Structure 1
Amino acid sequence: MENREQLTKSLKPHWVWAIAFGSAIGWGAFVLPVDWMSMAGPLGVILGFIIGAILMIIIGVSYGFLVEKLPVSGGEFTYAYYGLGRYHAFLCGWFLTLGYLSIVALNASALALLGKFLFPTFVETGLLYSIAGWDVYAIEVMIACIGLTIIAWLNIRGARITGFSQFLFCIILLSGVLLLTITMLFHSSSSFSNLQPLFKPEIGAASSIFAIVAIAPWAFIGFDNIPQAAEEFHFSPKKTFKIIVLALVCSAFVYCLTIIATGVSEPWANASQVGSAWGTGTIVENAYGKFGVFLLAIALIMGIFTGLNGFYMSTSRLLFAMGRAKVLPAIFGKLHTKHRTPHVGIIFTLLLTAAAPFFGREALLWVVDMSALGVTIAYFYACFVAYRIFAWSRTHIKNNKQIVAPKRKFFSFLGILCAITFFLLLVVPGSPGFLSTPSWIALLVWILLGIIFFLIRFQVYSRLSQHELDYSILGTEYIEKQTEPAIEKKLP
């Protein structure tokens, strides 16, 4: 067997929190509040995100345990392999890769959107063509590609730089959101009466809330970046669940603040009909002029950078784990000789997502909408594997992988139900989060590409022995533990 490359342990707990929190609070928290309110009304959005965060915390119980048990890169790909075998690992990894790449691409396009709002005369020059009603300009493509390149460079330089930068970005982001909310609340024209009606009248309270709950896998996707960084923890993996909870609570808090800050200034029903490319920016500009937009833009830029930074890290670590397992070409499993980072995965992510701005924002949104489905599949795998590992009691133990932990088994079962609920909200016709026709087409294309790629890699992947895959995916520490005398294990 080839020598297994291993990432350096350099990430501190508050950096890992920043990776999760900053990845969840990307451009959407600052660009989409008006769109969300038009879907569900202000209180519908707030309650939807709070419920979504609670559901994510339930799913996070399984993640906390799995990171503690398998502190290696790969996240859900690794867990699917450990619990269900190599082919489930490929399926999970393929859909998760789609979700991660889509978020990187969309955050890059958000930079161009910000440029269009702040400097429309400059950015809207060099018209190339239109896709789905969206004009694509050479300058906006350039802005997106420059942003992608800068964050890729930071990630190649090392995890310490990535982690510290992420924490700094998050502190600025939080400060900007708090200051923005306070200034909007105390503006002379602001009133809580502008939040009326609290729910979207056409669909009612319950449907309004579920419309937002349906997008929770996308809104809080950043918390599952933590497992991708597990191999680089410079602290005990036992802290993982607390970090997950803190990141999700902070994310829900920020989402609620941006809804309040946007909704109190003027009646949200009127704002949703303006038709601006950036409704929140228009509202803030009406209240405080260019100063307000500047303050909002700083928070937005930090949100974009944290999203790019976090998902660059997660995508490259997932590709690195799949490269070590020979699912992808072996070069993805190599590290930079100087910086010890998975540079091939970072460069691959840069090249692939740099093409996204050329397709226009509307076409890109079709891909992102269905990427929530891929993330939901990954959530299901993590919870299902955890459920199989836990046992209700000693009499229910069926193999040496299982641990007596009835409470955790119950929460992992709830996590399975949450993942199935998210899945159904996206695929059942008539449900609030049902995917659009273009999104279904994009999903089918991705599935077709996965089948083709699997057939190409099948001979290499299928010939690997279980011992080789255990070594490549789970590491030497796991193999050494398997040779230790069996000890009866019980967890609360």
Structure 2
Amino acid sequence: MQEKSRFKKVMSSTDILVVAFGAMIGWGWVVSSGRWIQNAGTIGTLLGFIIGGIMIYFVGMTYAELTPAMPKVGGEHVFSHKAFGPTGSFICTWALILSYIGVVCFEAVSLPTIMQYIFPSFAKGYMYSVAGSDVYATGVILASVFTISIIVINILGIKAASILQTILTLTIAAVGIILVVASAINGSADNLEGQVIIGDGGSAVKNILSVAVVAPFFLFGFDVIPQVAEEINVPLKKVAKILLLSIICAVLFYGLVVFAVGYALNSKGISEAMEGSGLVTASAMEKVFNSTVMAKVLIIGGLCGVITSWNSFLIGGSRAIFSMAESKMIPGRFSKLHSKHKTPVNALLLIGVLSLAAPFFGRTMLVWISDAASFACCLAYCMVSLSFLILRKKEPELHRPYKVKHYRFVGITASVLSGLMVVLYLIPNSGCSMTIEEWIIVGGWAILGLSFYIICKRHYKKQFGTLALEK
């Protein structure tokens, strides 16, 4: 592989960790903890997240070996190309781009909603409704300002984006630690009564598994690391360890927050919070401090989570688009790098335009996009896990700075678990099956991808699907 990189190698170990961790810690820890506890109990939710975390950790181990072995921009694009060839690589990367764009768009719409929790009178200038979701001028303006700001920061360079990520991630961590410590001091074990594990015997197992199935969807984001492989200025073996550490940190964060909520609020308190704002984690913060101000402090921490997730997936999505364009799988103009900052400017602008459009469609439609994005991510994970197994057979002499032990067990487990998640989305009434609207999004994205595939293959001919390292 060529040693020369088209990008600036400026990312440190801290930068890599906060980009991955920030991607995994979004808004879910603020808004979903109450629902998880009601479904499975406090300890049941912890067990569910541990099980879900194990699933993601197996997939993460395949990434940990492949990323330092092929440290090129696009990550999964390169892995799947080496294993499956251009067509398989197209499917994997195209699915991954949908998952990244889906998250970016969803965060753009979540931002006004969060602001309304902090300032109840924020929503002004009613415009129209989409599928029961009201669209307000103030929300569109706020989302647009943040979108443009984040795009500009990313165009200025990955280091600038990493600095923003570090500040926000430290804020999230600080708020989370404050909640956990305050809950330990002012909470009570009596609050766990009746909500340790919900159900008995088989029903308890089913409830725990219901959390385990959704947990991986809150742990997506470590895969941003391979996307920026050419911008990392860290020993390759260390990159693999940081990737795995980011998964452990995310599972630990969610687990501690859930336990803190269950320790601070009894089942009645959680029910009242669910019927009220729905922000049970913020209610727990208010309870342990006896202060509505501290509840808003926690919501601000959640707001930081939205921005870190938004920023990370913007970074990952732009690099994935760049890698496909560089391989002549989509129009080549998206492979343009900024002359000074060496960032994929056109790819960033494309995602920026989609982000600007998202708030106009209302929050309900973005829920559909989010679910479609989760399906696409599971598909990409499955293909990467299979690539891991294939490349061990196909290229046994490939230099692997970090080599996974018992690779067959790891690769098969990762492939089966991620493949199972894909199947659950496809089976009707599985609890995870996609709605008609989500099928339309996935189908439309597939048709768009097929169109690019046919047009670019005819236009670029032999250049189609060639990796930069092969040119």
Q: CA deviation at 1:169?
A: 1.9
Q: TM-score with structure 1 length normalisation?
A: 0.87
Distance 2:154 2:456 in 1: 28
Q: RMSD of the alignment, in Å? A: 2.5
Whether 1:307 and 2:306 are equivalent positions in the alignment is no
Is the 1:217–1:372 contact (alpha carbons within 8 Å) kept by the matching residues of 2? no
Q: 1:359 corresponds to which residue?
A: 361
Q: 1:152 corresponds to which residue?
A: 151
Whether 1:418 and 2:417 are equivalent positions in the alignment is yes
Distance 1:105 1:318 in 2: 16
Q: 2:71 corresponds to which residue?
A: 71
Q: TM-score with structure 2 length normalisation?
A: 0.91
Whether 1:178 and 2:177 are equivalent positions in the alignment is yes
Is the 2:64–2:244 contact (alpha carbons within 8 Å) kept by the matching residues of 1? no
Whether 1:256 and 2:255 are equivalent positions in the alignment is yes
- Residue type of the partner of 2:20? A
Deviations 1:290-339 (A, max 9, x none): 32123202311221221122111111111111111111211211110111
Q: 2:111 corresponds to which residue?
A: 111
Q: CA deviation at 1:128?
A: 1.2
Corresponding residue to 1:345 among 337, 344, 347: 347
Q: CA deviation at 1:462?
A: 4.2
Distance 1:309 1:10 in 2: 17
Whether 1:274 and 2:275 are equivalent positions in the alignment is yes
Alpha carbons of structure 1 residues 399 and 461: separation in structure 2 relative to 1, 3 Å: farther
Q: 1:233 corresponds to which residue?
A: 232
Distance 1:284 1:437 in 2: 38
Alpha carbons of structure 1 residues 113 and 283: separation in structure 2 relative to 1, 3 Å: farther
State which drifts further: 234-243 or 257-266.
Answer: 257-266
Alpha carbons of structure 1 residues 435 and 39: separation in structure 2 relative to 1, 3 Å: farther
Q: CA deviation at 1:428?
A: 2.3
Deviations 1:357-401 (A, max 9, x none): 11111221111012111111111111111101214xxxxx78866
Q: CA deviation at 1:151?
A: 1.3
Q: CA deviation at 1:86?
A: 0.6
- Residue type of the partner of 1:460? H
Whether 1:389 and 2:388 are equivalent positions in the alignment is no
Whether 1:10 and 2:20 are equivalent positions in the alignment is no
Distance 1:344 1:187 in 2: 51
Deviations 1:174-224 (A, max 9, x none): 111010222234336x55534633344498222222222222342111111
Is the 2:60–2:243 contact (alpha carbons within 8 Å) kept by the matching residues of 1? yes
Alpha carbons of structure 1 residues 43 and 431: separation in structure 2 relative to 1, 3 Å: farther
- The gaps in structure 2 that reach 5 residues or longer are none
Q: CA deviation at 1:35?
A: 3.1
Q: CA deviation at 1:144?
A: 1.5
- The gaps in structure 1 that reach 5 residues or longer are 392-396, 477-492
Q: CA deviation at 1:170?
A: 1.6
Q: 2:62 corresponds to which residue?
A: 62
Is the 1:195–1:263 contact (alpha carbons within 8 Å) kept by the matching residues of 2? no
Deviations 1:235-264 (A, max 9, x none): 222112211221011101111122223333
SS at match of 1:235: coil
Distance 2:368 2:447 in 1: 17
Distance 2:419 2:228 in 1: 26
Within a 5 Å distance, the mapping from 1:435-446 to structure 2 comes to 435-446=434-445
